[in-house]
Amino acid sequence: MIIFLLVWPLLASVALLAFNFKKAKELALAVSVIELVVSLLMAFQFVKTAEVQFSVNEPWIASLGINFSVGVDGISLLLVLLTTVLVPFIILSSFNRSEIRTSNFYGLILMMEMALVGVFVARDGFLFYLFWEVALIPIWFICLLWGGEGRGKITLKFFIYTLAGSLFMLIGLVYLYFQTPGSHTFDITALYTAGRSLPVFEQSLIFWALFVAFAIKMPIFPFHTWQPDTYTVAPVQGTMLLSAIMLKMGIYGVIRWLIPVVPLGVHEWGNFVIIISVIGIIYASCIAIVQNDFKRLVAYSSIAHVGLISAGLLTLSKIGMQGAIIQMLSHGIVVFALFFIIEIIFERTKTRSLSELGGIRNMAPVLSSVFIVVMLGSVALPLTSGFVGEFMLINSLVQYQFLIGAIAGLTIILGAIYMLRTFQKAMSGEPNKTTIGFVDLSTHEKLVLFPMVILIIGIGVYPSPLLAISEAAVDSILVVMSDFSASVK
């Protein structure tokens, strides 16, 4: 089943890249929908326990101890679902710009989907790294070929920056690999045992080698400078892929490949990272307040959200982790919707600068209502998906250290400030010459946005099923941690 999830989009993308289809977008949509259906089937067959399911384990490069080993537990499943759910909508969202979206474009998106799913299901260190890198190529090309002004320089910076991080992750993994007994192997469990057996100092080194890669990908505070430029310059579908899904690779990496691998390292440096993340929350929110470019604003807001996620994650409490997972899903959906709204406005008015917009609410009540819901999701109003995550995350942080929690909590105020400001500037007021001819949502735009609204409110009202899926897996991770922190104290 997982094999299908990986091979199917790959084949489709190869086909799309090789031959220039006339009906490329319909084809891609069909492919991704089938992918979605299969992943849903998988979700239904999934048993809510900690052990890895649907796993496939074939020897691949025996001499290097690399196996093609994949499988899903609760956490992976949720992220795979996020991917397979969002990709069809991302494809659908590109329909009104299809005149410039060639067959290659959709081929790259599907390749991206393959790589993302691969990252989330890989159970072998090397395989994980491979998918991790492979995901970079299509997104780079998407940004390069269909991006905006100055894409060459910016995408190159993006590529090298992220590659730098992941290469150090590779070194870290290799180091672990050589700690594995006998003929070395990259198998995840072996890496776990190897990593945990190391002394604190080495664990700290590996922690940083791995964490930098994840931090750059997320990105959290000091490692983020590639992100606003890239988000701004990328075509909106690329931005969606980057922010809604690819960003989660980093957080997933922390959950799956950092915390269980080097518990002592995490124990050593977790506090530091939490502080950095919290600083990042405030910092990014403040910058978001003064942004005029709509896309940049959302970019910074997502830095702030991710900061909260990573901080809550590293409290190593169950509430924190669960909250992080829910927040990942929520953030993916919200940010996707936000970027699509930006795209709609941009496409109608040919501008993203808030100072030029205004009064859209007069002409487009439906759009503005949708925008309100999405905005509420982003500012974490209760009964939206955002609240569940942020409540749990802030909760975990307060339990970790009240002051940190309180500062992190400022995000709900600052978030409100910049989102409301945005809404006021873009939608409220009297229409001006750029927005006067604004037409409300078209059918296919509604097709994309309404499901998102439903998801935002649905998750906000009834998140328990999702929480239940990941619960066992999170427990199994935390058991290890508690042992180790016990051993430290």
Partner 1 sequence: MVGIEFLIVLVPVLPLLGFLIISLNNKRLSHGVVSFIACGAVLVSFIISVLLFTQLLSQPEDQRFFQVVVMDWISTGDLSINFSFLVDPLSSIMLLIITGVGFLIHVYSIGYMHDDAGFNKFFSYLNLFVFFMLMLVMGSNYLVMFVGWEGVGLCSYLLIGFWFKNQAYNDAANKAFIMNRIGDLGLLLGVILIFMNCGSLNYEEVFAKATSLDTSTITFITILLFVGAMGKSAQIPLYTWLPDAMAGPTPVSALIHAATMVTAGVYMVARNNLLYSLSPISLNLILVIGLATALFAATIALTQNDIKKVLAYSTVSQLGLMFVALGVGAFSSGIFHMATHAFFKALLFLGAGSVIHALQGEQDIRKMGGLKKYLPITYITFFIGVLAISGIPPFAGFFSKDEILAHAFSVNPLVWGVALLASLLTVFYMFRLFFLTFYGSVRAGENVMHHIHESPKSMAVPLILLAVMSVVGGFMNVPEVLWGSAWLNEFLSPVFAQSQTVLVAHELSHSTEYMLMGTVIALTLVVIGIGYSMYVAKDSVPSAEGERIGMLHKLSYHKYFVDEIYDTIVVKPLYWLSGKFDLIIERLAIDRLVNSVGESVVAWSGLFRWFQNGTIGFYIFIMVMGVVAMLLALTIN
Partner 2 sequence: MNALYLICGLGFLSLLAEIANLKKALGAVIIVGLCLVTVLIVMDWNTGQHYYNDMVVFDNFSIVFIALIVVISIFWFWMSSDYFRGQSHQTDRSALILFAIAGAVLMISFNNMAMLFLGIEILSISLYALAGSKKESLFSNEASFKYFLMGSFATGFLLMGIALVYGATGSFHVTKIAEYLSSYPSELPIFFYAGVVLMLVGMAFKISAVPFHFWAPDVYEGAPVTITAFMSTVVKIAAIAAFYRVFSFCFSSAQETWITILQVITVLTLVVPNITAVYQGRVKRMLAYSSVGHVGYILLAFISNSTNAPGTIFYYLTAYAIASITAFTVLHEVENTDHSGFNGLYQRSPMLAVVMTISLLSLAGIPPLAGFFAKYVVFAQAVNHGYTGLVMLGVVTSLIGVYYYFKVIIDMFLKEPAGAAIQLSSSIRTLMGLLALLLLLLGLFPDWLISLLA
The residue ranges that bind partner 2 (CB under 8 A) are 60-64, 129-130, 133-134, 136-137, 144-145, 151-152, 155-156, 159-160, 163-164, 167-168, 170-171, 174-175, 177-178
User: Contact 223/212 with Cβ under 8 angstroms?
Assistant: yes
One character per residue 218-257, x = contact with partner 1 (rule: CB under 8 A): ----x-xxx-------------------------------
335 SS3 class: helix
Helices (H) and strands (E) in the chain, counts: 21, 2
Query: Which residue in the set 52, 130, 139, 392 belongs to the binding site for partner 1 (CB under 8 A)?
Result: 392
Q: How many CB atoms lie within 10 A of CB 44?
A: 6
When CB distances are held under 5 to 8 angstroms depending on the partner's kind, the choice from partner 2, partner 1, none that residue 383 binds is partner 1
**Closest alpha carbon to 257 in 131, 103, 408:** 131
List, in sequence order, every residue forming a beta bridge with 122; answer none if it has no partner.
70
In the complex, the smallest distance separating the C-beta of residue 17 from partner 1, rounded to whole angstroms, is 31
- For 470, the token pair is 């990941």
Q: Residue 408 binds which entry of partner 2, partner 1, none, with Cβ cut-offs from 5 to 8 Å by kind? A: none
Q: How far is residue 428 from each of residues 168, 289, 362, measured CA to CA in Å?
A: 48, 17, 8
Name the 3-class secondary structure at 376.
helix
Report phi then psi at 436, rounded to 5: -65, -40
Footprint (CB under 8 A) of partner 1, residues 148-187: 157, 160-161
* Contact (CB, 8 A) for 114 and 32: no
CA distance 135 to 248: 12
424's contact among partner 1, partner 2, none, with CB below 5 to 8 A by partner kind, is partner 1
Among partner 2, partner 1, none, the one that 41 touches (CB under a kind-dependent 5 to 8 A) is: none
CB under 5 to 8 A by kind: which of partner 1, partner 2, none does 137 bind? partner 2
Q: Which is nearer to partner 1, 78 or 392 (CB)?
A: 392
The interface partner of residue 289, options being partner 2, partner 1, none and the CB cut-off 5 to 8 Å by kind, is partner 1
Kindly indicate which of the ranges 71-79, 120-128, 340-348, 400-408 contains the residues binding partner 1, using the contact rule CB under 8 A.
400-408
Handedness of CA 405, 465, 113, 448 (dihedral sign): negative
Q: CB under 5 to 8 A by kind: which of partner 2, partner 1, none does 369 bind?
A: partner 1
**Half-sphere exposure of residue 14, counting CA atoms within 13 Å on the CB side?**
5
Q: Is 467 in the site for partner 1 (CB under 8 A)?
A: yes
Cis (ω within 30 of 0) for the bond into 219?
Answer: yes
DSSP symbols for 280-332? HHHHHHHHHHT--BHHHHHHHHHHHHHHHHHHHHHTT-HHHHHHHHHHHHHHH
Confirm or reject binding of residue 479 to partner 1 (CB under 8 A): no
The Cα–Cα gap between 54 and 56 comes to: 7
Q: Which is nearer to partner 2, 155 or 435 (CB)?
A: 155
Please choose which of partner 2, partner 1, none residue 144 contacts, taking the beta carbon within 5 to 8 angstroms, the exact cut-off set by kind: partner 2
Q: Please give the Cα distance from 191 to 177 (Å, whole number).
A: 7
Structure-derived torsion over alpha carbons of residues 324, 328, 333, 337, reported in degrees to the nearest 10: 100
Question: Of all helices (H) and strands (E), which one includes residue 458?
Answer: helix 443-461
Q: How far is the CB of 57 from partner 2 (least distance, A)?
A: 16
Binding residue for partner 1 (CB under 8 A) from 402, 436, 444, 454?
A: 402
CB 288 to partner 1: min, Å: 8
Residue 329, both tokens: 């899903």
What does the alpha-carbon distance between residue 77 and residue 98 come to, in Å, rounded to a whole number?
A: 31
Which of partner 1, partner 2, none has residue 362 at its interface (CB below 5 to 8 Å by kind)?
partner 1
Q: Does residue 97 interact with partner 1 by CB under 8 A?
A: no
Please choose which of partner 2, partner 1, none residue 151 contacts, taking the beta carbon within 5 to 8 angstroms, the exact cut-off set by kind.
partner 2
H/E run at residue 453: helix 443-461
Q: Which two tokens stand for residue 390?
A: 């942020």
Cβ atoms of 404 and 312 within 8 Å: the answer is: no
Nearer to partner 1, 262 or 477 (CB): 477
- The contact mask relative to partner 1 for 351-390 (x = CB under 8 A, - = no) is --------x-xx--x---x------x----xxx----x--
Q: How far is the CB of 386 from partner 1 (least distance, A)?
A: 11
- Which residues of the chain form contacts with partner 1 (CB under 8 A)? 157, 160-161, 222, 224-226, 283, 286-287, 289-291, 318-319, 322, 359, 361-362, 365, 369, 376, 381-383, 388, 391-392, 394-395, 398-399, 402, 405-406, 409-410, 412-413, 416-417, 420-421, 424, 427-430, 461-464, 467-468, 471, 475
